[in-house]
Structure 1
Amino acid sequence: MFLLLIYNSTVDRVYFFKSIASVFLNMTQKFQNEIHDPTLVDEFISIVSHELKTPLTSLKAFNQILKSKIDAKSNTNLSGYILRMDSQIDKMTDIINELLDVASLKSGQLSINKESFILDELITNVINTRQKIAQKHKIIKKGLTNTFIESDKIRLSQVLTNLLTNAAKFSPSGTNIIISKKIAGNDIIVSVRDFGIGIPMAKQKVIFQRFNSINNPKSDNLPSMGLGLYISNEILNRLGGRIWVRSSPGKGSTFFFQIPKVIN
C-alpha cells in the first residue's frame, strides 16, 4: 500500500527528472554567461556535479528496491512507471558524468590508458548495447574487418556511444543508423550516419564547443547539455585523432572520426 501511495500519482513523475535537468542546464549556462572567469565556471561545474552524484546514486538504489518489491505482472502500470523513472535516473547520471569529464579535461586529469584490442569487437559491443536502448532504430554495420589497434578502449567506446546516442535522438523512429569503418594508411576512419533533422551550417562550426547543442523539439529525451561532442572532440585530440561532420538540414548527418592505429 505504501508503494502504491508513492507511485499512485506518478504518471508524469518521469518529467520531474527532466525538470531537474532543465533547471541545472539553465543554471549552468546562466552562470557561464554572467561569470566571465573560466576558472570559476569550471569550479562551479565540478562542485555541483559531485554534489548531485551522491543523491542520484541513492535514488537509483531506492528505485532498484522498489523494482524488486513490485510484481510486474500484477502491477503493470506501476512497474512501467518505475522502469521509466529508472531510465531517467540513468540519463541524469550520464549528464553528471559528462560534467565530471569536462572538469577532468579542464584540469588536465582525464586519464588515457593505451591497450591493444580489435576495434571491430569494440564497435560491435557498443552497437549491441545501444541497439537495446534505441529499439526504434536499426543500427547497421558496414566495412568491418579484424583490425588491431593500440588506443584507449574505454574512451573510444565513450565517443561511439555519444555519436550513436545523438544519431538516435535526432532521427525519426524507424530510420536506420549506419556505422562504417575504413583504413586510411596508418589511420582508421569511422563514420556514424543518420537520416534525421540535420545540422545548419552555422551550427556545424560550434557544435564541438562546450554547451553548444541542437535540441530536437520532437524528442522526449532530457534536454542536452551540449557536452557530448565537446568531450568526444577532446578525447580524440588526446588519442591523436580528430572529428568532423557533414550535414544538410532535413537530410541527416554523418559524423566522422579518424584515429591512428597506434597512439604515441
Structure 2
Amino acid sequence: MQTQFLTLSNNNINEFPEDGSSTESRQLHPPLDLAQIAIDSANVGIWVINAVTGEFMPSSRTKELFGFAPDEEMTFDAAMQQVVEKYRQNTIAAIENAYKKQTNLYVEYQVIGLHDHQSRWLSITGGFTNPDLTSSYFSGIVMDITQHKQNELKRSKFIGMVSHELKTPLTALKAYVQMLSNWAKKQKDGFATGALSKVDKQVRKMLNMINSLLNLSSAEVGQIHINKQLFSVDELIAEVVEETLFVTSSHHITITPCENIQVNADREKIEQVLVNLLSNAAKYSEKGTSIGISCKLQGEMVEISVLDQGLGIAQEAIDKVFLPHYRVESKETEKVTGFGIGLYLCSEIISRHDGKIWVESEPGEGSTFKFTLPVN
C-alpha cells in the first residue's frame, strides 16, 4: 500500500446557544470541539487514508502509539515497521484486504515504539466512508490494549496450567479403560465391552478438548513449539480418519487417494489440524452426510482439503472464522458446542509451518477447508 504523510486536522464541531443570544454573548462561551473532546477522553488515535490519492493521515496520538514524536512524519510503511515481525505480515495483509474489499477492519498486533522502545499491544478498527464516491476515505481508530492483552496472557497461562493438571489423571484413566476393555473382550462380556468403548470415546473427547486448551494457551503467549520430522501425508490422513470414525461414527468419510507425499513437519500438530477440521465438518453437517478429504501436490507445496455438505459460511464471516473465540452465530449453530478456538489453533499451527489455511464456502452449500504445507 503506497501512502504519503499528511498531517491530520480534527474537524471542529461547534455548539452554539439556541436561545437567540447575540454574537457578543456567544463570545463568552467558546465553541466546543466535541470531536476532539471525545477523542481525548477515549485516549485513542485516529487515522485516515484517502482512497483516491493514497495519502496517509495519522493523528498525533496515533504517532505516539507507534513511538513517533507528534510533529514527526510517519508514513504507513514506517508505522508498519514498528509492528513486531511475527505479527507484521498478517497485520499488513488484514489492512490491505479490508482496503481492497472495502470491508470492516479489526486487527490486533504488538509494536515496539520507534524512539521510546516500549512494547505495546494495539488494535486497529476501521472501514470505508462513502464507498461508492470518488472522495471516499478509509479511516478508523488505534487503541492501546496492552493492559487487556496482558490480562488475556495471564488467563491463558492459568488455563494452560489447569489443563496440564487435568490431562495427567485423564491419561491414566484412558490406560485403565483400555486394559479393562481388553479384559472384557477376553471374557466375551459384550455389555462391559460396549460400555467401556463408550467410556473410551468420552475420555478421548475430553483429552482432545484439554489439548485444544493447552494449545490455545501456548499460542496466545507465542509458545507453540514445532518439532519437525519426515512423515507421509497419506498415512497420517488414514490414521486420523480411522480415529475420527471411532469417535464420530455418524458420517461417511471418504479419502481421495493421493500419491506418496512426504513432508518435514510436526506430525502431532498437523494431526491436530486434521482432527479439528474433520470434527468441525461433522459438527456442522447433517448426520449421514459425506465428508471428503484429499491431498495433492501443488508445486513445492502439498494442499490438503476437507469438504463437507454442511451449513456453509456467509461471506462476511469467512475472514473471521480463524480469529480466536469467534463462532458463526445462527439458529442452526446455537446448539453446536465448542470454544471457538479450533480454527484459530489450526491457523497458528499452519502459519508456523510457513503454510496457508483458508475456506471456500457458500451458505447452504457446504464448506471446503484447505491448507498447504511445504514438501520436504
Q: How many residues align?
A: 226
- CA gap of 1:90–1:126, structure 2 versus 1, over 3 A, is closer
Partner of 1:50 in structure 2? 164
Q: Distance in 2 between matches of 1:222 and 1:179?
A: 22
State the one-letter code of the partner of 1:123.
I
Q: Distance in 2 between matches of 1:53 and 1:99?
A: 11
The question of 1:156 aligning with 2:270 is answered: yes
Deviation at 1:87, TM superposition (A): 2.2
- CA gap of 1:229–1:107, structure 2 versus 1, over 3 A, is same
- Assess if the C-alpha contact under 8 Å between 2:325 and 2:340 holds in 1: yes
Q: Distance in 1 between matches of 2:302 and 2:287?
A: 30
The structure in which a higher percent of residues are strand is: 2
Pairing of 1:102-251 with structure 2 (within 5 A): 102-142=216-256, 144-214=258-328, 223-251=337-365
Deviation at 1:260, TM superposition (A): 1.2
- CA gap of 1:63–1:114, structure 2 versus 1, over 3 A, is closer
Deviation at 1:200, TM superposition (A): 2.6
For the aligned residues, what is the CA RMSD?
A: 3.1
Segment drifting more, 253-262 vs 112-121 = 112-121
Segment drifting more, 221-230 vs 150-159 = 221-230
- Assess if the C-alpha contact under 8 Å between 1:139 and 1:178 holds in 2: yes
Deviation at 1:244, TM superposition (A): 0.5
Task: Specify every segment of 5 or more residues in structure 2 that has no aligned partner in the other structure, as ranges.
Answer: 1-147
Q: Distance in 2 between matches of 1:231 and 1:96?
A: 13
Q: Distance in 2 between matches of 1:216 and 1:69?
A: 46
Deviation at 1:227, TM superposition (A): 1.7
For the residue of structure 2 that corresponds to 1:195, the secondary structure is coil
Deviation at 1:166, TM superposition (A): 1.2
State the one-letter code of the partner of 2:224.
L
Structure of higher RCO (CA pairs closer than 8 Å, 6+ residues apart): 1
Q: Distance in 1 between matches of 2:327 and 2:174?
A: 27
Deviation at 1:100, TM superposition (A): 0.8
Deviations 1:50-72 (A, max 9, x none): 34334544654675677678799
Q: Distance in 1 between matches of 2:343 and 2:286?
A: 20
Deviations 1:11-39 (A, max 9, x none): xxxxxxxxxxxxxxxxxxxxxxxx66222
Partner of 2:198 in structure 1? 84
Task: Specify every segment of 5 or more residues in structure 1 that has no aligned partner in the other structure, as ranges.
Answer: 1-34
- Assess if the C-alpha contact under 8 Å between 1:118 and 1:149 holds in 2: yes
Q: Distance in 2 between matches of 1:114 and 1:175?
A: 35
- Assess if the C-alpha contact under 8 Å between 1:215 and 1:224 holds in 2: no
State the one-letter code of the partner of 2:357.
I
Partner of 1:31 in structure 2? none
State the one-letter code of the partner of 2:277.
L
Structure whose CA Rg is larger: 2
Identity of paired residues, percent?
Answer: 39
Deviation at 1:259, TM superposition (A): 1.4
The structure in which a higher percent of residues are helix is: 1
